[in-house]
Amino acid sequence: MQPTGQDEAERSRSPFEAFRREVMADAPLRAELASLLDADAFVALAVSRAGERGIGLDAEEVARRVWAPGAPDRPQAVEIAPGWPPAGWLPSSVSHATAAGGDAPVVDWTHFAGEPLSEPFYEDSLRKARARPFNRVFRVRTALASLAAGAPVDAPRP
């Protein structure tokens, strides 16, 4: 599979960031990684898929990100989305934080890997989703203002 257009100089600076961009741009890859429950399997698959894209991702770095202090509540790699995240993500919190260059209300999203909301309370389903290695490593955050302005026409109503 070909990379999504990252130049070699940018890749060599941060293989993890290059891979994060690949993951965020590739829905099947996101779904494959998000479906894993086992941290070791997640690390192995991430390193393998990165290698297929010409990215020399270090397994120890990925493992550190999976087990980082604060994970799963505070994953280290934050994708600041300009609007709604891709399919598969559901809102997980609203807070006041820095997003898109300013200090404003933000929405954090968690990838549910296609799992239905089957627990009695949303928080229970959210806790399960946050425990996935994918959500320990990747997070999407959207400024509330851009979220409201860019709602897709087919977005579910609250």
Taking the CA atoms of 22, 71, 91 and 149 in sequence, report the sign of the dihedral they define: negative
pLDDT grade for 84, boundaries at 50, 70 and 90: confident
- CA atoms of 118 and 121, how far apart (whole Å): 8
In one letter, which amino acid is 133? P
Whole-number average pLDDT of the chain: 81
Q: Record the pTM.
A: 0.77
Q: What is the pLDDT of residues 30-44, one digit of tens each?
A: 999 999 999 999 999
- CA atoms of 144 and 104, how far apart (whole Å): 8
Q: Please say whether the beta carbons of 80 and 47 come within 8 A.
A: no
- CA atoms of 153 and 20, how far apart (whole Å): 28
Residue with tokens 């609250």: 158
pLDDT of residue 85: 80
pLDDT of residue 104: 78
Q: What is the pLDDT of residues 100-123, one digit of tens each?
A: 456 778 888 999 999 989 999 999
